[in-house]
Structure 1
Amino acid sequence: MLTISNLHAAYGKVEVLHGISLDVPKGKVVTLIGSNGAGKTTTMRAISGMIKPKSGSVTLAGKDVTGLDSHRIARAGLAHSPEGRRVFSTMSVTDNLLLGAFPRFTGARAKGNISQDLERALELFPRLKERQHQLAGTLSGGEQQMLAMARAVMLNPEVVLLDEPSMGLAPILVDEVFRIISRLKAEGVTMLLVEQFAAAALNVADYGYVLENGRISLHGPAESLKNDPAVRAAYLGGGQSH
Protein backbone atom coordinates (compact mmCIF):
# COMPACT_ATOMS: atom_id res chain seq x y z
CA MET A 1 0.00 0.00 0.00
CA LEU A 2 2.83 2.40 0.95
CA THR A 3 6.37 1.49 -0.11
CA ILE A 4 9.46 3.55 0.65
CA SER A 5 12.53 2.49 -1.28
CA ASN A 6 16.11 3.65 -0.67
CA LEU A 7 14.94 7.09 0.51
CA HIS A 8 17.54 9.82 1.06
CA ALA A 9 16.50 13.18 2.52
CA ALA A 10 18.38 16.23 3.73
CA TYR A 11 17.96 19.68 5.22
CA GLY A 12 20.28 21.81 3.11
CA LYS A 13 23.60 19.96 2.93
CA VAL A 14 22.92 17.85 6.01
CA GLU A 15 21.69 14.42 4.97
CA VAL A 16 19.31 12.99 7.58
CA LEU A 17 18.03 9.83 5.88
CA HIS A 18 20.63 7.54 4.34
CA GLY A 19 18.66 5.22 2.08
CA ILE A 20 15.81 3.82 4.15
CA SER A 21 13.30 1.29 2.86
CA LEU A 22 10.06 0.22 4.50
CA ASP A 23 6.70 -1.23 3.57
CA VAL A 24 3.23 -0.55 5.00
CA PRO A 25 0.83 -3.26 3.78
CA LYS A 26 -2.89 -2.56 3.38
CA GLY A 27 -4.86 -2.78 6.62
CA LYS A 28 -1.74 -3.04 8.79
CA VAL A 29 -0.20 -0.79 11.42
CA VAL A 30 3.54 -0.35 11.02
CA THR A 31 5.56 1.58 13.58
CA LEU A 32 8.86 3.41 13.21
CA ILE A 33 10.71 3.71 16.50
CA GLY A 34 14.00 5.37 17.34
CA SER A 35 15.58 7.94 19.62
CA ASN A 36 15.23 11.70 19.19
CA GLY A 37 17.15 12.88 16.15
CA ALA A 38 17.10 9.45 14.46
CA GLY A 39 15.14 10.87 11.51
CA LYS A 40 11.59 9.71 12.27
CA THR A 41 9.81 13.01 11.61
CA THR A 42 12.01 13.65 8.57
CA THR A 43 10.84 10.29 7.19
CA MET A 44 7.19 11.34 7.62
CA ARG A 45 7.82 14.72 6.01
CA ALA A 46 9.61 13.17 3.04
CA ILE A 47 6.74 10.71 2.52
CA SER A 48 4.01 13.37 2.69
CA GLY A 49 5.77 15.96 0.51
CA MET A 50 6.63 18.48 3.24
CA ILE A 51 10.24 18.09 2.15
CA LYS A 52 11.51 16.77 -1.19
CA PRO A 53 13.56 13.57 -1.01
CA LYS A 54 17.05 13.74 -2.53
CA SER A 55 16.65 10.29 -4.04
CA GLY A 56 14.72 7.06 -3.65
CA SER A 57 11.01 6.54 -4.17
CA VAL A 58 7.66 6.74 -2.38
CA THR A 59 4.86 4.62 -3.86
CA LEU A 60 1.27 4.92 -2.61
CA ALA A 61 -1.30 2.34 -3.74
CA GLY A 62 0.83 1.61 -6.81
CA LYS A 63 1.31 5.29 -7.73
CA ASP A 64 4.71 6.98 -7.62
CA VAL A 65 4.24 10.11 -5.47
CA THR A 66 7.94 10.85 -4.86
CA GLY A 67 8.57 14.58 -4.52
CA LEU A 68 5.03 15.66 -5.37
CA ASP A 69 3.53 18.65 -3.54
CA SER A 70 1.79 17.79 -0.26
CA HIS A 71 -1.71 18.56 -1.56
CA ARG A 72 -1.23 16.24 -4.53
CA ILE A 73 -0.03 13.44 -2.26
CA ALA A 74 -3.08 14.04 -0.03
CA ARG A 75 -5.33 13.74 -3.08
CA ALA A 76 -3.66 10.43 -3.86
CA GLY A 77 -4.85 9.23 -0.45
CA LEU A 78 -2.16 10.01 2.12
CA ALA A 79 -3.30 11.72 5.34
CA HIS A 80 -0.62 13.16 7.64
CA SER A 81 -1.34 13.91 11.30
CA PRO A 82 1.84 15.91 11.98
CA GLU A 83 3.93 16.24 15.10
CA GLY A 84 2.67 19.14 17.21
CA ARG A 85 -1.00 18.81 16.19
CA ARG A 86 -1.43 21.95 14.00
CA VAL A 87 -5.18 22.41 14.09
CA PHE A 88 -6.96 25.48 12.66
CA SER A 89 -7.46 27.23 15.99
CA THR A 90 -9.95 29.90 14.89
CA MET A 91 -12.30 27.35 13.29
CA SER A 92 -14.75 25.03 15.02
CA VAL A 93 -14.03 21.37 15.63
CA THR A 94 -16.58 20.41 12.96
CA ASP A 95 -15.07 22.77 10.39
CA ASN A 96 -11.59 21.36 11.08
CA LEU A 97 -12.95 17.89 10.38
CA LEU A 98 -14.68 18.99 7.18
CA LEU A 99 -11.41 20.58 6.00
CA GLY A 100 -9.84 17.15 6.33
CA ALA A 101 -12.36 15.97 3.74
CA PHE A 102 -11.65 18.90 1.38
CA PRO A 103 -10.29 16.79 -1.54
CA ARG A 104 -13.56 14.82 -1.39
CA PHE A 105 -15.63 17.99 -1.84
CA THR A 106 -13.55 19.08 -4.83
CA GLY A 107 -13.74 15.70 -6.57
CA ALA A 108 -10.01 15.04 -6.18
CA ARG A 109 -10.97 11.97 -4.11
CA ALA A 110 -14.08 9.81 -4.17
CA LYS A 111 -16.73 11.73 -2.27
CA GLY A 112 -18.51 8.92 -0.41
CA ASN A 113 -20.82 9.96 2.40
CA ILE A 114 -19.06 12.85 4.13
CA SER A 115 -21.78 13.56 6.71
CA GLN A 116 -21.83 9.89 7.70
CA ASP A 117 -18.04 9.90 8.04
CA LEU A 118 -18.23 13.08 10.14
CA GLU A 119 -20.68 11.33 12.45
CA ARG A 120 -18.38 8.31 12.62
CA ALA A 121 -15.37 10.49 13.47
CA LEU A 122 -17.29 12.13 16.30
CA GLU A 123 -18.40 8.71 17.60
CA LEU A 124 -14.78 7.52 17.48
CA PHE A 125 -13.62 10.60 19.42
CA PRO A 126 -16.35 11.24 22.03
CA ARG A 127 -14.49 14.24 23.49
CA LEU A 128 -14.72 15.94 20.11
CA LYS A 129 -18.42 15.19 19.88
CA GLU A 130 -19.00 17.06 23.14
CA ARG A 131 -17.02 20.01 21.78
CA GLN A 132 -17.94 19.94 18.10
CA HIS A 133 -19.07 23.59 18.04
CA GLN A 134 -16.11 24.93 20.06
CA LEU A 135 -13.18 26.70 18.42
CA ALA A 136 -10.28 24.26 18.04
CA GLY A 137 -7.93 26.70 19.79
CA THR A 138 -9.95 26.37 23.02
CA LEU A 139 -9.41 22.59 23.22
CA SER A 140 -6.85 21.01 25.54
CA GLY A 141 -3.64 19.63 24.04
CA GLY A 142 -5.03 16.09 24.17
CA GLU A 143 -8.25 17.11 22.46
CA GLN A 144 -6.32 18.94 19.75
CA GLN A 145 -4.30 15.77 19.16
CA MET A 146 -7.52 13.79 18.76
CA LEU A 147 -8.80 16.45 16.36
CA ALA A 148 -5.64 16.19 14.22
CA MET A 149 -6.09 12.39 14.07
CA ALA A 150 -9.81 12.62 13.30
CA ARG A 151 -9.15 15.23 10.59
CA ALA A 152 -6.66 12.85 8.93
CA VAL A 153 -9.26 10.06 8.93
CA MET A 154 -11.82 12.40 7.28
CA LEU A 155 -9.79 12.27 4.05
CA ASN A 156 -10.94 8.63 3.81
CA PRO A 157 -7.27 7.94 3.09
CA GLU A 158 -5.40 4.92 1.79
CA VAL A 159 -2.79 5.46 4.51
CA VAL A 160 -2.60 7.62 7.65
CA LEU A 161 0.75 8.88 8.93
CA LEU A 162 0.64 9.48 12.69
CA ASP A 163 3.67 11.45 13.87
CA GLU A 164 4.11 11.31 17.68
CA PRO A 165 0.38 11.26 18.52
CA SER A 166 1.09 10.96 22.26
CA MET A 167 3.65 13.77 22.46
CA GLY A 168 3.10 16.03 25.46
CA LEU A 169 -0.04 14.25 26.62
CA ALA A 170 -0.97 13.17 30.13
CA PRO A 171 -0.76 9.37 30.62
CA ILE A 172 -4.56 8.95 30.70
CA LEU A 173 -4.81 10.66 27.29
CA VAL A 174 -1.95 8.58 25.90
CA ASP A 175 -4.03 5.49 26.75
CA GLU A 176 -7.03 7.06 25.01
CA VAL A 177 -5.01 7.83 21.86
CA PHE A 178 -3.79 4.23 21.67
CA ARG A 179 -7.33 2.92 22.20
CA ILE A 180 -8.41 5.00 19.21
CA ILE A 181 -5.48 3.72 17.10
CA SER A 182 -6.58 0.17 18.00
CA ARG A 183 -10.15 0.96 16.91
CA LEU A 184 -8.96 2.45 13.62
CA LYS A 185 -6.86 -0.67 13.08
CA ALA A 186 -9.92 -2.86 13.75
CA GLU A 187 -11.74 -0.87 11.04
CA GLY A 188 -8.95 -1.69 8.59
CA VAL A 189 -7.25 1.74 8.48
CA THR A 190 -3.66 1.43 7.21
CA MET A 191 -1.26 3.41 9.42
CA LEU A 192 2.41 4.32 9.74
CA LEU A 193 3.01 5.33 13.34
CA VAL A 194 6.00 7.24 14.69
CA GLU A 195 5.93 7.17 18.46
CA GLN A 196 8.19 7.94 21.42
CA PHE A 197 6.44 5.30 23.57
CA ALA A 198 7.98 2.31 21.83
CA ALA A 199 6.26 -0.27 24.04
CA ALA A 200 2.78 1.13 23.34
CA ALA A 201 3.57 1.43 19.63
CA LEU A 202 4.77 -2.18 19.39
CA ASN A 203 1.69 -3.36 21.29
CA VAL A 204 -0.65 -1.89 18.67
CA ALA A 205 1.51 -2.46 15.55
CA ASP A 206 1.79 -5.51 13.31
CA TYR A 207 5.34 -4.76 12.21
CA GLY A 208 8.11 -2.42 13.32
CA TYR A 209 11.24 -0.72 12.04
CA VAL A 210 14.01 0.68 14.23
CA LEU A 211 15.62 3.85 12.89
CA GLU A 212 19.11 4.80 14.07
CA ASN A 213 20.99 7.80 12.68
CA GLY A 214 18.93 7.87 9.50
CA ARG A 215 19.25 4.15 8.76
CA ILE A 216 17.00 1.16 9.47
CA SER A 217 19.00 -0.94 11.92
CA LEU A 218 16.40 -3.64 12.58
CA HIS A 219 12.92 -4.62 11.50
CA GLY A 220 10.49 -7.45 12.03
CA PRO A 221 7.07 -8.42 13.42
CA ALA A 222 6.19 -6.16 16.36
CA GLU A 223 6.01 -9.14 18.72
CA SER A 224 9.57 -10.23 17.94
CA LEU A 225 10.92 -6.66 18.27
CA LYS A 226 9.27 -6.40 21.70
CA ASN A 227 11.24 -9.44 22.79
CA ASP A 228 14.52 -8.44 21.13
CA PRO A 229 17.13 -7.77 23.86
CA ALA A 230 18.70 -4.83 21.96
CA VAL A 231 15.31 -3.18 21.41
CA ARG A 232 14.32 -3.76 25.02
CA ALA A 233 17.55 -2.26 26.30
CA ALA A 234 17.43 0.80 24.01
CA TYR A 235 13.72 1.63 23.82
CA LEU A 236 11.69 -0.37 26.30
CA GLY A 237 13.35 0.62 29.56
CA GLY A 238 15.84 -2.24 29.93
CA GLY A 239 14.54 -5.70 30.71
CA GLN A 240 11.25 -4.60 32.29
CA SER A 241 8.17 -6.29 30.98
CA HIS A 242 5.45 -4.11 29.48
Structure 2
Amino acid sequence: MLSIHNLHASYGKVEVLHGISLEVPQGRLVTLIGSNGAGKTTTMRAVSGMIRPRAGTVTLGGRDITGLDAHRIARAGLAHSPEGRRVFATMSVTDNLLLGAFPRLTGKRARGDVAHDLERALELFPRLKERREQLAGTLSGGEQQMLAMARAVMLNPDVVLLDEPSMGLAPILVDEVFRIIARLKADGVTMLLVEQFAQAALEVADYGYVLENGRIAVHGPAHQLKTDPKVVAAYLGGSHAH
Protein backbone atom coordinates (compact mmCIF):
# COMPACT_ATOMS: atom_id res chain seq x y z
CA MET A 1 0.00 0.00 0.00
CA LEU A 2 2.74 2.48 1.04
CA SER A 3 6.16 1.75 -0.37
CA ILE A 4 9.32 3.75 0.32
CA HIS A 5 12.37 2.94 -1.76
CA ASN A 6 15.91 4.28 -1.33
CA LEU A 7 14.68 7.52 0.27
CA HIS A 8 17.21 10.29 0.86
CA ALA A 9 16.23 13.49 2.66
CA SER A 10 18.10 16.41 4.13
CA TYR A 11 17.79 19.75 5.86
CA GLY A 12 19.98 22.18 3.95
CA LYS A 13 23.29 20.43 3.28
CA VAL A 14 22.89 17.93 6.09
CA GLU A 15 21.60 14.59 4.81
CA VAL A 16 19.42 12.92 7.45
CA LEU A 17 18.13 9.87 5.55
CA HIS A 18 20.67 7.83 3.63
CA GLY A 19 18.58 5.65 1.35
CA ILE A 20 15.95 3.92 3.48
CA SER A 21 13.40 1.45 2.15
CA LEU A 22 10.31 0.13 3.89
CA GLU A 23 6.90 -1.33 3.12
CA VAL A 24 3.54 -0.75 4.79
CA PRO A 25 1.16 -3.43 3.43
CA GLN A 26 -2.58 -2.81 3.32
CA GLY A 27 -4.33 -3.36 6.65
CA ARG A 28 -1.07 -3.63 8.55
CA LEU A 29 0.47 -1.55 11.31
CA VAL A 30 4.19 -0.98 10.77
CA THR A 31 6.32 0.85 13.31
CA LEU A 32 9.54 2.79 12.87
CA ILE A 33 11.59 3.00 16.05
CA GLY A 34 14.96 4.53 16.83
CA SER A 35 16.68 6.99 19.12
CA ASN A 36 16.17 10.75 18.97
CA GLY A 37 17.81 12.20 15.87
CA ALA A 38 17.77 8.90 13.97
CA GLY A 39 15.54 10.41 11.26
CA LYS A 40 12.08 9.09 12.18
CA THR A 41 10.19 12.39 11.91
CA THR A 42 12.18 13.32 8.79
CA THR A 43 10.93 10.10 7.21
CA MET A 44 7.32 11.04 7.97
CA ARG A 45 7.79 14.57 6.62
CA ALA A 46 9.41 13.34 3.42
CA VAL A 47 6.59 10.84 2.84
CA SER A 48 3.77 13.32 3.50
CA GLY A 49 5.19 16.19 1.45
CA MET A 50 6.26 18.48 4.29
CA ILE A 51 9.80 18.28 2.93
CA ARG A 52 10.95 17.21 -0.52
CA PRO A 53 13.08 14.06 -0.73
CA ARG A 54 16.49 14.40 -2.39
CA ALA A 55 16.25 10.98 -3.99
CA GLY A 56 14.22 7.80 -3.90
CA THR A 57 10.54 7.07 -4.45
CA VAL A 58 7.37 6.98 -2.37
CA THR A 59 4.36 5.17 -3.81
CA LEU A 60 0.85 4.98 -2.36
CA GLY A 61 -1.33 2.21 -3.72
CA GLY A 62 0.96 1.97 -6.74
CA ARG A 63 0.84 5.72 -7.45
CA ASP A 64 4.09 7.70 -7.32
CA ILE A 65 3.60 10.54 -4.81
CA THR A 66 7.30 11.44 -4.41
CA GLY A 67 7.79 15.15 -3.88
CA LEU A 68 4.16 16.14 -4.44
CA ASP A 69 2.76 19.02 -2.39
CA ALA A 70 1.35 17.93 0.97
CA HIS A 71 -2.27 18.77 0.06
CA ARG A 72 -2.05 16.63 -3.10
CA ILE A 73 -0.62 13.74 -1.11
CA ALA A 74 -3.51 14.06 1.36
CA ARG A 75 -5.99 13.97 -1.52
CA ALA A 76 -4.30 10.81 -2.77
CA GLY A 77 -5.24 9.19 0.55
CA LEU A 78 -2.35 9.72 2.96
CA ALA A 79 -3.15 11.36 6.33
CA HIS A 80 -0.39 12.64 8.59
CA SER A 81 -0.85 13.18 12.32
CA PRO A 82 2.33 15.16 12.99
CA GLU A 83 4.31 15.35 16.22
CA GLY A 84 3.51 18.41 18.29
CA ARG A 85 -0.27 18.09 17.73
CA ARG A 86 -0.90 20.98 15.36
CA VAL A 87 -4.57 21.71 15.88
CA PHE A 88 -6.56 24.82 14.94
CA ALA A 89 -6.77 26.41 18.39
CA THR A 90 -9.54 28.94 17.64
CA MET A 91 -11.87 26.36 16.09
CA SER A 92 -14.10 23.87 17.88
CA VAL A 93 -13.23 20.20 18.19
CA THR A 94 -15.98 19.33 15.70
CA ASP A 95 -14.75 21.88 13.15
CA ASN A 96 -11.19 20.57 13.49
CA LEU A 97 -12.49 17.09 12.71
CA LEU A 98 -14.48 18.32 9.72
CA LEU A 99 -11.33 20.00 8.38
CA GLY A 100 -9.76 16.56 8.33
CA ALA A 101 -12.51 15.55 5.90
CA PHE A 102 -12.04 18.69 3.76
CA PRO A 103 -10.81 16.88 0.61
CA ARG A 104 -13.95 14.72 0.83
CA LEU A 105 -16.24 17.74 1.18
CA THR A 106 -14.68 19.47 -1.85
CA GLY A 107 -14.90 16.47 -4.15
CA LYS A 108 -11.13 15.90 -4.24
CA ARG A 109 -11.62 12.55 -2.52
CA ALA A 110 -14.55 10.10 -2.37
CA ARG A 111 -17.05 11.68 -0.03
CA GLY A 112 -18.57 8.70 1.74
CA ASP A 113 -20.68 9.43 4.80
CA VAL A 114 -18.84 12.26 6.57
CA ALA A 115 -21.49 12.64 9.31
CA HIS A 116 -21.25 8.94 10.14
CA ASP A 117 -17.45 9.09 10.23
CA LEU A 118 -17.59 12.12 12.52
CA GLU A 119 -19.75 10.17 14.98
CA ARG A 120 -17.40 7.20 14.70
CA ALA A 121 -14.38 9.40 15.43
CA LEU A 122 -16.11 10.79 18.50
CA GLU A 123 -17.01 7.27 19.68
CA LEU A 124 -13.38 6.24 19.21
CA PHE A 125 -12.16 9.23 21.20
CA PRO A 126 -14.68 9.65 24.05
CA ARG A 127 -12.77 12.59 25.56
CA LEU A 128 -13.34 14.52 22.35
CA LYS A 129 -17.03 13.65 22.34
CA GLU A 130 -17.45 15.31 25.74
CA ARG A 131 -15.68 18.41 24.42
CA ARG A 132 -16.97 18.54 20.86
CA GLU A 133 -18.09 22.18 21.11
CA GLN A 134 -14.98 23.40 22.95
CA LEU A 135 -12.25 25.39 21.20
CA ALA A 136 -9.32 23.11 20.43
CA GLY A 137 -6.92 25.53 22.11
CA THR A 138 -8.61 24.95 25.46
CA LEU A 139 -7.99 21.19 25.40
CA SER A 140 -5.20 19.58 27.40
CA GLY A 141 -2.10 18.42 25.56
CA GLY A 142 -3.32 14.83 25.62
CA GLU A 143 -6.71 15.79 24.24
CA GLN A 144 -5.07 17.83 21.47
CA GLN A 145 -2.99 14.77 20.58
CA MET A 146 -6.16 12.70 20.28
CA LEU A 147 -7.75 15.43 18.17
CA ALA A 148 -4.78 15.35 15.77
CA MET A 149 -5.16 11.58 15.46
CA ALA A 150 -8.94 11.75 15.01
CA ARG A 151 -8.58 14.48 12.38
CA ALA A 152 -6.21 12.26 10.38
CA VAL A 153 -8.75 9.42 10.48
CA MET A 154 -11.47 11.79 9.20
CA LEU A 155 -9.79 11.89 5.78
CA ASN A 156 -10.92 8.24 5.50
CA PRO A 157 -7.34 7.67 4.35
CA ASP A 158 -5.68 4.69 2.73
CA VAL A 159 -2.72 5.13 5.07
CA VAL A 160 -2.30 7.07 8.34
CA LEU A 161 1.10 8.31 9.49
CA LEU A 162 1.22 8.66 13.29
CA ASP A 163 4.28 10.61 14.42
CA GLU A 164 5.04 10.25 18.15
CA PRO A 165 1.39 10.08 19.28
CA SER A 166 2.44 9.54 22.90
CA MET A 167 4.93 12.41 23.09
CA GLY A 168 4.61 14.41 26.29
CA LEU A 169 1.54 12.53 27.52
CA ALA A 170 0.85 11.27 31.03
CA PRO A 171 1.13 7.45 31.30
CA ILE A 172 -2.64 6.99 31.61
CA LEU A 173 -3.14 8.87 28.32
CA VAL A 174 -0.35 6.92 26.63
CA ASP A 175 -2.30 3.75 27.44
CA GLU A 176 -5.46 5.29 25.99
CA VAL A 177 -3.67 6.35 22.78
CA PHE A 178 -2.37 2.82 22.28
CA ARG A 179 -5.82 1.35 22.93
CA ILE A 180 -7.16 3.61 20.18
CA ILE A 181 -4.33 2.60 17.82
CA ALA A 182 -5.20 -1.06 18.50
CA ARG A 183 -8.87 -0.30 17.70
CA LEU A 184 -7.93 1.37 14.41
CA LYS A 185 -5.76 -1.62 13.55
CA ALA A 186 -8.65 -3.98 14.32
CA ASP A 187 -10.77 -1.88 11.93
CA GLY A 188 -8.21 -2.54 9.19
CA VAL A 189 -6.68 0.96 9.07
CA THR A 190 -3.21 0.88 7.47
CA MET A 191 -0.73 2.75 9.65
CA LEU A 192 2.92 3.75 9.87
CA LEU A 193 3.72 4.57 13.50
CA VAL A 194 6.78 6.46 14.72
CA GLU A 195 7.04 6.11 18.46
CA GLN A 196 9.52 6.77 21.25
CA PHE A 197 8.04 3.98 23.40
CA ALA A 198 9.52 1.14 21.40
CA GLN A 199 8.10 -1.55 23.65
CA ALA A 200 4.51 -0.29 23.30
CA ALA A 201 4.96 0.20 19.55
CA LEU A 202 6.21 -3.35 19.03
CA GLU A 203 3.38 -4.72 21.18
CA VAL A 204 0.75 -3.27 18.83
CA ALA A 205 2.59 -3.47 15.47
CA ASP A 206 2.72 -6.28 12.91
CA TYR A 207 6.18 -5.39 11.63
CA GLY A 208 8.98 -3.08 12.72
CA TYR A 209 11.96 -1.21 11.33
CA VAL A 210 14.79 0.14 13.48
CA LEU A 211 16.30 3.38 12.20
CA GLU A 212 19.87 4.27 13.21
CA ASN A 213 21.59 7.40 11.92
CA GLY A 214 19.35 7.63 8.86
CA ARG A 215 19.66 3.98 7.86
CA ILE A 216 17.53 0.91 8.54
CA ALA A 217 19.64 -1.17 10.95
CA VAL A 218 17.29 -4.13 11.37
CA HIS A 219 13.72 -5.02 10.49
CA GLY A 220 11.37 -7.92 10.96
CA PRO A 221 8.07 -9.08 12.45
CA ALA A 222 7.40 -7.08 15.60
CA HIS A 223 7.30 -10.15 17.84
CA GLN A 224 10.82 -11.08 16.68
CA LEU A 225 12.21 -7.58 17.21
CA LYS A 226 10.84 -7.60 20.78
CA THR A 227 13.24 -10.45 21.60
CA ASP A 228 16.17 -9.45 19.35
CA PRO A 229 19.10 -8.97 21.80
CA LYS A 230 20.43 -5.87 20.00
CA VAL A 231 17.01 -4.21 19.87
CA VAL A 232 16.33 -5.08 23.50
CA ALA A 233 19.68 -3.68 24.60
CA ALA A 234 19.35 -0.44 22.63
CA TYR A 235 15.63 0.36 22.86
CA LEU A 236 13.77 -1.92 25.25
CA GLY A 237 16.20 -2.28 28.15
CA GLY A 238 17.19 0.24 30.78
CA SER A 239 19.58 1.97 28.39
CA HIS A 240 16.98 4.30 26.91
CA ALA A 241 16.00 5.94 30.17
CA HIS A 242 16.13 9.67 29.51
Alignment of structure 1 residues 208-219 onto 2, 5 Å: 208-219=208-219
**SS in structure 2 at match of 1:107:** coil
Runs of 4+ aligned structure 1 residues displaced above 6 Å come to none
Partner Cα distance (2:85, 2:234) in 1: 27
* CA offset digits 1:132-174 (Å, max 9, x no partner): 0000000000000000000000000000000000000000000
**1:2 corresponding residue in structure 2:** 2
**1:233 corresponding residue in structure 2:** 233
**1:134 corresponding residue in structure 2:** 134
Partner Cα distance (2:237, 2:55) in 1: 35
**2:162 corresponding residue in structure 1:** 162
Partner Cα distance (2:13, 2:60) in 1: 27
**1:223 corresponding residue in structure 2:** 223
**SS in structure 1 at match of 2:38:** coil
**1:112 corresponding residue in structure 2:** 112
**SS in structure 1 at match of 2:165:** coil
Partner Cα distance (2:106, 2:55) in 1: 31
Give the C-alpha shift of residue 238 in structure 1: 4.6
**2:31 corresponding residue in structure 1:** 31
Give the C-alpha shift of residue 237 in structure 1: 1.7
Note the residue ranges of structure 1 that are not aligned, 5 or more in a row: none
* CA offset digits 1:191-238 (Å, max 9, x no partner): 000000000000000000000000000000000000000000000025
Q: TM-score, normalised by structure 1?
A: 0.98
The one-letter amino acid paired with 1:209 is: Y
**SS in structure 2 at match of 1:127:** helix
1:171 equivalent to 2:171? Answer: yes
Alignment of structure 1 residues 77-116 onto 2, 5 Å: 77-116=77-116
**SS in structure 1 at match of 2:199:** helix
Identity of aligned residues (%): 84
1:72 equivalent to 2:62? Answer: no
**SS in structure 2 at match of 1:36:** coil
Partner Cα distance (2:189, 2:144) in 1: 21
**1:182 corresponding residue in structure 2:** 182
The one-letter amino acid paired with 2:16 is: V
Q: TM-score, normalised by structure 2?
A: 0.98
**1:51 corresponding residue in structure 2:** 51
Partner Cα distance (2:231, 2:91) in 1: 42
* CA offset digits 1:102-158 (Å, max 9, x no partner): 000111100000000000000000000000000000000000000000000000000
Partner Cα distance (1:154, 1:47) in 2: 19
Give the C-alpha shift of residue 179 in structure 1: 0.1
The one-letter amino acid paired with 2:225 is: L
Note the residue ranges of structure 2 that are not aligned, 5 or more in a row: none
The one-letter amino acid paired with 1:86 is: R
The one-letter amino acid paired with 1:110 is: A
**SS in structure 2 at match of 1:110:** coil
The one-letter amino acid paired with 1:142 is: G
Partner Cα distance (2:61, 2:107) in 1: 18
Question: Are the equivalent residues in 2 in contact too, given 1:93–1:147 (CA < 8 A)?
Answer: yes
What is the aligned length?
A: 239
Partner Cα distance (2:221, 2:7) in 1: 22
Partner Cα distance (1:141, 1:218) in 2: 33
The change in CA–CA distance for 1:228 and 1:235 in structure 2 (over 3 A counts) is: same
